[in-house]
Structure 1
Amino acid sequence: MDDNNNDAQITTKTTFLKLSTYMEKNFHDVSFNFSLYPGFNSALNIERLLLMNLSKLSDFIENYVWLPFAISLLYFIIVVCWIPRLMRNRQPYRLNDVLSFWNLTMALFSIVGTFRLLPELIFMIQNYGLFQSICDDRYIDDPRYFLWMFLFQFSKMFELLTSVIIILNKGKLLSIHWIYNIISLCYSWQMLEMPSNTRWLVCTDFLVHSFKYLYFAMKTSTQNPLPRVFPMAITLLQILQAIICLLTEWVNLWYPQQVCHKDKYLSFAGFFIYGVFTIWLIRIFIEKYLPTTTTDYEAIETKKNE
């Protein structure tokens, strides 16, 4: 019995040691023999260049934890509140080509991110099961995964530029758009402290954004309306993403931190965030794509025939 207790204490100490070394990871000591890690056994040239400065990226994220909150505040004041008022009596800048190029750029970035990270998630599910893919943080040993975590975090800042282009083009900035931008920027900046289910959060985000930005790029590059099934499919993918992330956060809340390596306050915050977005997206889908009365159907058919 005592031996079992000692084994449990050793396991607990080892777990917390792993968590502490995660936060203080020395990227000069990690192995760059990529065949040791699941997924692809190589690195792109641009990845190798960035990996040389991985410790600097890590230090930047840890030393500027206030940055996403400051940027979010400026984004709300300037982009959400001030620029729309400024544009109220102005002509649009006709930035459809710029917006199309930007959406295509974000789509390609998301596709490459999916291409780099999804094989590791599939490997974990196939070899260790669904539960371990949520709670096991062995991916932190792969410097490429760290790199794409950082790129994912920085991309959330660049996503804010999409709102600027939309407003200057006198398009409608939806509430869910700018609220999601702020929350995802602030929450993703905490990923150094939540190794457990990050692979699910990042992979699903990259995958859904690949389709979303491709759709936006097509929409802004043509004058003809796209089939209605496209935005319906994108919204369904976003709902599925929110539900998956909600479930992974629930798993992290349910099991102790020694099992699922993530701070409980982050799991609670994530559970609340994804719960709200799941309900919000389902409501949007029902209101926009599931008319409930004969009048609604007649209005849709009339619009199609116009």
Structure 2
Amino acid sequence: MENQTEYQLSELSFERSFDEKTAIEWMQANWTHSIGFSALYAVLVFGGQHFMRERPKLNLRRPLILWSLTLAVFSIVGAVRTGWYMLNFLSSSGFRRSICDQGFYYAPVPKFWAFAFVLSKAPELGDTVFIILRKQRLIFLHWYHHITVMLYSWYSYKDMVAGGGWFMTMNFCVHAIMYTYYTARASGVRVPRPLAMLITGAQISQMVMGVTVTALVYRWMQHGDCPSYPENVVWASLMYFSYLVLFARFFYRTYLKRGGPPPVKAAKRD
């Protein structure tokens, strides 16, 4: 089934030369480092806020533009490469196989982006540094989302669990829009309120699809052709359902409830 998809996609040189077996073996041996990164991140979140309490906020406009632009470009390219792969796979093999097949982790095009995706969750923690140093409002959703995504991504990649192609592609697509928005805002561009609402709406849709894919993985793994583990399904379910509740609550309080926080300021915390 993978061959039907692979021949339709031309490989870039770095995608072709990427050794996914070494990457998977490395993650199997080192995925617990994500726990250490999360602990350090938690210290940064609370210690950094305490450190900045009596200090003036920093502007950091140019570094923020560069940071957001870098992540935007990375996410856009990742969304195009993985999205095109998934579309081809859907058309050639169907919805069920697009969820259950492990080819996303080792097929010529997406194998690089799968590993790049999970690794990117560590540097993405840097988003919070700008919030703390600029003394902006840091909400629970922001740091909870960063920690749990990194932990689950590293934990799941090592086992090449079913659903990974959908999870990663959806995240790439949403982040492509989100970091482009952040870049525009940091550059001083006035972005219409409906666009900010659209981004949060896309995030909510991502969580709905995440819950759906996880439920289908659980259903089909009983038939033996959807490789995953009960504990992984449990963690994925808890993660995506909690995101769904938190993002829906954020959307309501920011855009629908009167007297909510300013949409632009709040939207930059996702």
SS at match of 2:239: helix
Task: After superposing the two structures, state which structure 1 stretch, 152-161 or 88-97, moved more.
Answer: 88-97
**2:214–2:237 CA contact under 8 A, matched in 1:** yes
CA contact (8 A) 2:16 2:108 kept: no
Where structure 2 has 5 or more consecutive residues not aligned to the other structure, the ranges are: 263-270
Question: What residue in structure 2 maps to residue 20 of structure 1?
Answer: none
Aligned equivalent of 1:57: 23
Partner of 1:280: 246
Matching residue of 2:143: 178
Which stretches of structure 1, 4 residues or more, deviate above 6 A after TM superposition? none
Partner of 1:226: 191
In structure 2, relative to structure 1, the CA distance for the partners of 1:39 and 1:94 (3 Å cut) is farther
Counterpart amino acid of 1:269?
A: W
1:14-29 alignment, distance < 5 Å: none
Deviations 1:86-110 (CA, angstroms, capped at 9, x unpaired): 1111112211211121111101101
Q: Does residue 211 of structure 1 match 2:192?
A: no
Mapped to 2, the partners of 1:125 and 1:98 lie a distance apart of: 39
In the superposition, relative to structure 1, how do residues 127 and 253 fare at CA in structure 2: closer, same or farther (>3 Å)? same
> Which SS does the other structure have where 1:139 is aligned?
helix
1:274/1:110 Cα in 2 relative to 1: closer, same or farther (>3 Å)?
Answer: same
Match of 1:90 in 2: 55
Aligned partner of 2:163 among 187, 197, 209: 197
Q: Does structure 1 retain, via aligned residues, the 8 Å contact 2:6–2:109?
A: no
Which segment is superposed worse, 130-139 or 94-103? 130-139
Count of aligned positions: 258
Contact map agreement 2:27 2:157 (CA 8 A) in 1: no
Rounded to whole Å, the distance in 1 between the matches of 2:72 and 2:8 is 21
Whole-Å separation in 2 of the counterparts to 1:39 and 1:249 = 29
How far does the alpha carbon of each residue in 1:254-301 deviate from its partner, in whole angstroms, 9 at most, with x for none? 22161211112111210111011111111111121113xxxx38x99x
How many angstroms does 1:226 deviate by? Answer: 2.5
Higher gyration radius (CA): 1
Residue pair 2:197, 2:251 contacting (<8 A) in 1 also: yes
Q: Which amino acid aligns with 1:213?
A: Y
What's 2:234 paired with? 268
CA apart distance, 1:220: 1.2
In structure 1, give the amino acid aligned to 2:194: V
C-alpha displacement of 1:225:
4.1
Deviations 1:108-152 (A, max 9, x none): 101111111111211222222222221223334414322211100
- Other-structure match for 2:13: 45
For structure 1, which segment, 67-76 or 261-270, has the greater mean C-alpha deviation from structure 2 after superposition? 261-270
- C-alpha RMSD of the superposition: 2.2
Greater mean alpha carbon deviation, residues 277-286 or residues 140-149? 140-149
Name the residue aligned to 2:77: 112
Counterpart-to-counterpart distance in 2, 1:210 and 1:55: 28
Q: CA deviation at 1:58?
A: 2.7
Amino acid at match of 2:81: R
Mean Cα displacement is larger for which, 123-132 or 261-270? Answer: 123-132
- Cα distance in 2 between the residues matched to 1:171 and 1:132: 44
Q: Following the alignment from structure 1 to structure 2, what is the Cα–Cα distance between the partners of residues 115 and 136? A: 20
Distance in 2 separating the partners of 1:265 and 1:39: 35
Q: What amino acid does structure 1 have at the position aligned with 2:187?
A: S
Cα distance change on mapping 1:44 and 1:138 into 2, 3 Å: closer
Letter in 2 for 1:264: P
Matched-pair contact (CA < 8 Å) for 1:252–1:262: yes
Contact 2:101 2:226 in 1 (8 A): yes
Correspondence for 1:250: 215
Residues 169-228 of structure 1: per-residue CA shift (max 9 Å, x gap): 222222111100000000000223143111100000000000000011111110x64211
- Provide the identity percentage: 27
Q: What TM-score, normalized to structure 2?
A: 0.88
